[in-house]
Amino acid sequence: MGDSLVLEHRAFPLRPAPDPTASFKGTYREQAWLRCGEMAKPDGIAFNPWRHAEHYPNWSLPGLEAAKCAALQGTEAFDRLHLRLYRAFFTESRNIADLSEVVKIAGEANLDAERFLADYRGGAGRDAVVKDYTEAAEEGVRSIPTVIFPETGRALVGLVDLAQYRAAIEEVPR
């Protein structure tokens, strides 16, 4: 598809408020994680099961806000932090609901730390997440991932295989 395919990341907080009961072991989260790991293995992507009995991230807002703040530093900054947050959570079992951990990860992604913290503390990330969430809810989005193809109205929901993505892309008028 080359330059004609544009992927726009939008935030959709599954846990917009802290949930003290959030856990990993023996839950649907563990099963989904294992399934993702099996699907990603051929591509060399590691989904390591959460290795801590405690400290499972109890909400998704801090990481989502951080990504939005990184985007204010440009697409490359967003891409670096987005990938780094995923690796930290899914591979390294780091708590991306903890702001101090998110700040460390932002540093690892070589963001402008001063600007990042100012944007985060100023609410720029939260405002952007709320906007994305509101728009998604109006479109009927209820889960992640949901990939919408505006040109056709088709939506792919959940963990779908690559063939379905290719088919959806081919349906888009050129």
Confidence band (pLDDT; 50, 70, 90) for 2? low
pLDDT tens, 11-38? 988 887 888 888 889 998 899 889 888 9
pLDDT tens, 93-132? 999 999 999 999 999 999 999 999 999 999 999 999 999 9
Q: Give the CATH number for residue 72.
A: 1.10.472.60
Q: How far apart are CA 3 and CA 161, in angstroms?
A: 22
Write down the pLDDT at residue 90: 92
> Is residue 44 assigned to a domain?
yes
Question: What token pair was written down for 30?
Answer: 């563990």
Confidence band (pLDDT; 50, 70, 90) for 1? low
Average pLDDT, the chain: 91
Question: What token pair was written down for 77?
Answer: 């900054």
Write down the pLDDT at residue 3: 64
My answer on whether 36 and 113 are in the same domain is: yes
pTM summary value: 0.86
Domain that holds residue 173: 141-174
> Is residue 150 assigned to a domain?
yes
Q: At residue 146, what are phi and psi to the nearest 5 degrees?
A: -125, 120
My answer on whether 127 and 152 are in the same domain is: no
> Is residue 7 assigned to a domain?
no
